[in-house]
Structures are given as structure tokens and as C-alpha cells.
Structure 1
């Protein structure tokens, strides 16, 4: 059984050391847009779960599709078939989201500790603790940061160490959202992590040629002679 206190400490340490390896800003802008934020805040008001946490779950579960349930991405206007199965149908996205946070494991609405370490541990519980049991960073949290390289459950109970999760992880999404919206805060969280610098795009010097001889070469010596002759003629 996973020690949640140890997982909380591990994720707090990873957050402090993490650097983003891709840009999360475009997705974060959609999650923090005023209309979306208002809907997340409405659910937050009913559950006590921070609205930014609701937003990143929505992104991970169904790419912020408002027809998909927060619980597992199934259409909220039909009975769900994926875990948690048998939920719904609901009258709105908001009603389905409240049900997911209040009545479905890991019962996020019961959580009272929203420090960054515990927040990330709760998000990891939301997806499952299989990665923690293996001693591996969860891509659900860390994909798109230098804390994660590879490894993914490709289906229930089947882990492939070579697969790389291409979805943006919750930690990177929260970092990007915090940079855009200073009202988003978590105890112990800073947003010092930055996107890893890309290789310099400065153009390389042109290779030596007749038109561009290397400095100090015979070609450069001859070119200087011709330059001097033409200057005298002009």
C-alpha cells in the first residue's frame, strides 16, 4: 500500500526541482480563460476543491471537452461505462463534476490539505497509484517536465516502460496557470520552474570558401592582395 505522506513529500520535492520541457502556456490559457474559470469556480464553491485542480483534471480526463465527465471522460448525459462506471446520466457538466469530486474515489472534496505536495498526491490518486507502487513519477502529474522520461500504463494493469505520455501533466499545467493567474496559489508552491532552454538558434559561421576564405589562410592572403590592387585602380 502506498504511503501517501511519502508520496506527498516526494512530489513536493519534484515540484521544487522540476523544469518544463515543453510549452504548457497555450493549454493553460484555455483552462484559465474567464468563461472556463467561472465554471470551474462554480464547482469549487460546491466541493471545496481548488478551481485550478478541477481544471487540470478536466484537461487530463477529456482535453477540456465540456461534453465529457470529470470522472473519466465519458459523456455526462449517459451512464458511464469506464471507471468509475455506472455514474449518471447528469443534467449538466457541473452536476457531473460535483458527483465525481464528492462521490467517487479518491473523494477529492474530502481533502483539506491543498499544499502543493498533497495536491499533487491527490491528483496522482485520481489517476491511480500504480506508478508510485513502482517508485516511478506518474506521467499524469509529471509528463512534460524533466521529472518524467517514459513509462505508461497503456491499459488497465498493463505497464510499458518504453511508452512516453504525450499529454501535458498536471504539475506543468498548474505551473503555467500560476504564471498566468497570480490568484492561483498552493502552500509551498513557487513557479520558479521554467521551460528548459532550447538549443541556440544562432547561425553557424559559413564554411571557408573562395568568396569567404578562412582567416590566416593562403586564400585570405591572396584575397588581400587582390583587394589592395583593386583599391589602387579605383
Structure 2
């Protein structure tokens, strides 16, 4: 097992420690009841999925601060290995930074791993060469870390009961017009906007738009929310594209035999995207006005958060709106949950402010 970087502390492989000790380390303040709940949940995850999962579940279940769920654990040696392989192939990519977040915890910038995937795919000449293998491995690691950022959905309550569009239309317009990105996150958000609107990203989003009729910027914000902009991840939920999805929606695409043969990860990502948007009813829609776009984005994630009376973090996180509450890793509602991702509507507002889209 790789060494693990946990909240700025380094633990050698093979160290025997339990999830309740992790909980004591990472939980600065919470009630005794929540502490016990988080620790017990972490123990179960530790036994089922190992140290990395156990530590991250503790953070999620406690409803801790935005970047903490994303960075509760980092497989440090895996990241360093990817950097070394990229250098050997002559791929210039910014090293994934481990910086201090707003909470003082170790923070891995997932965007730099997404950059590594893109650079490796661009370097690849096909036929499963070393660059393509690097893209696959970087993408798989990014999918695992993305799962720390984005807890799995469930078909049931997390999807929730949809409200009629007519009841929400005015709300969407009003909130979008008054939406202001949180200044604390502005530099991070600008970096994501730059990535999502880059020439290479725009081309791939544009190619998918040509087939599905889903606007490029809608594809972009879904790609960010579901995959951390990983072009080796399914747009359904961020799972690696080399296999069918495991998390909800599971076993997609069905059948999964992306053209052409042999395997082509670029074509596979597009084929997966076509399936994702067809499965969720986004493909071949005609009206992509602002209000309907936001309604469809919320539906893509599910109305469960709204059903609990909370502002949907999928749309409005990292804005001035008070967003708290969501579904954590085991699919149950946590009123203290804080997402570590920017809301899709907030990203759209930044794209609009920069004249990249018209809404």
C-alpha cells in the first residue's frame, strides 16, 4: 500500500491505526454524537474499503469544511510516480500542488491531474502507447480522488421528487442574476473556468454538442461537477471510462463497446457522453434558455437536496447563497454537509461575466 498523506501528516505503509483516531485528528469541533457517528462510519469503511476510504468517510460524515472531504487522504506516491512518468515522456505539466486550504488542511489541486490526463492524451499516438497508459492511470487516480469530492448518488432519495419547472423558473432567474462567486474561492474558480474554456476542452465539448445538441458550456459544467474535468471519466458520474460505471447510474453505457476498435479513449469519452445525456434526457433538447438549463442541471444531479429544504449545492455552492446540507457518502442526508465543489450555476455565471457564453 502506498504511503498516505493525511491532513498534512505522513504515515508509512503498514502503520496500524483506526478510523476513530483519524476522526480525532481531523475533526476540530463537532458534537459528541456527531463524533461518534462519524467514527463508527469510518470504522465500517476502513474494514470494507481500506484506510483511504475510511479516513475520507469520517470527514464526509462529519459534514466538515469544503476542501476537507476532497483532501482527507492523498496517495502521495501515486502522484509522484505519475509526475516522473510524464517527465520521462517529455510531457510538461504543472505538478499537482499540495497547498494549504482555507481550513489549513493539505489540499491537492485536482485540476492539475486533469491537466496531466489531457497532456498525456495529446501526446499519445494510439495503440495503447506509454502516453495513453499514463492518461489511463492518471485518470483512474483522479476518479478515486473525485469520489472524495463527489459522494456517490443513489437512485432513490437523492434523486428526489422533481418540482414542476413553472414553480422554479422565477427562482432560477433571480438567483442567477444576483449570484456572486465567493471571493475566497475566486482564484480557484477562475483556474477552472480557464481550463473548461480552453481550446482543447472546447473542441471536445463542441464535438459532443454536435451529436447531442447539449450546449458546450452545459457539458463543461457537468464534466467539472461529475468528473473534476477528467477526460478519462464517464460523464454519468466520473467513474473510469475503461469499464462500465459502478456507481449510480451503474452498468452504463449498456452495452459498452465504444467505437472504434481497438480502444480509443477520445472516442470512448464521447460515446459515453452520448449515453449519459440520452439516459438523463438531455440529448436533442431544443430550448436551452437559462431557466431550463438550470432546471435540467439540477435534475441531472437530483432534487433530493431541495426536498430537504436546502439550497442545491450542485448549482449554487461557492456563491453568496448559504449552501449547507447534502447527501454524504452512504447516500443519507446530512444537514451539515458542505460540498467542496463549485456550483454549476456559479461556473456559468463566471463564463457569462467573461463573455464566453450568452444567457
TM-score by length of 2: 0.49
- Residue of structure 1 equivalent to 2:327: 153
Is 2:216 the partner of 1:55?
no
Cα deviation for residue 166 of structure 1 reads 1.4
Is 2:234 the partner of 1:69?
yes
Question: Gapped runs of 5+ residues in structure 2?
Answer: 1-160, 260-267
Q: Larger deviation: 78-87 or 38-47?
A: 78-87
Residues 148-170 of structure 1 deviation map (CA, whole Å, 9 limit, x = unaligned): 33111113641111121111110
- Distance in 2 separating the partners of 1:35 and 1:43: 13
Aligned length: 183
Pairing 1:182-193 to 2, within 5 Å after superposition: 182-186=355-359
- Distance in 2 separating the partners of 1:118 and 1:38: 24
- Distance in 1 separating the partners of 2:309 and 2:178: 17
Of structures 1 and 2, the one scoring higher in RCO (CA 8 A, sep 6+) is 1
- Distance in 1 separating the partners of 2:224 and 2:329: 19
Q: Larger deviation: 8-17 or 25-34?
A: 8-17
- Distance in 2 separating the partners of 1:114 and 1:156: 33
- Structure 1 or 2: larger helix share? 2
Residues 17-51 of structure 1 deviation map (CA, whole Å, 9 limit, x = unaligned): 21111312110000000000000000001111110
Question: Gapped runs of 5+ residues in structure 1?
Answer: 187-234
- Residue of structure 2 equivalent to 1:30: 195
Pairing 1:135-146 to 2, within 5 Å after superposition: 135-146=309-320
Local SS of the residue matching 2:333: strand
2:226–2:238 contact (8 Å) kept in structure 1 = yes
2:176–2:349 contact (8 Å) kept in structure 1 = no
Cα deviation for residue 8 of structure 1 reads 2.7
Pairing 1:165-176 to 2, within 5 Å after superposition: 165-176=339-350
- Residue of structure 1 equivalent to 2:246: 81
- Distance in 2 separating the partners of 1:176 and 1:8: 21
TM-score by length of 1: 0.73
Residues 110-148 of structure 1 deviation map (CA, whole Å, 9 limit, x = unaligned): 432212111111000000011222232210100001123
- Distance in 2 separating the partners of 1:19 and 1:148: 12
- Distance in 1 separating the partners of 2:246 and 2:302: 18
Is 2:178 the partner of 1:17?
yes
- Distance in 1 separating the partners of 2:341 and 2:304: 18
Aligned-pair Cα RMSD in Å: 1.6
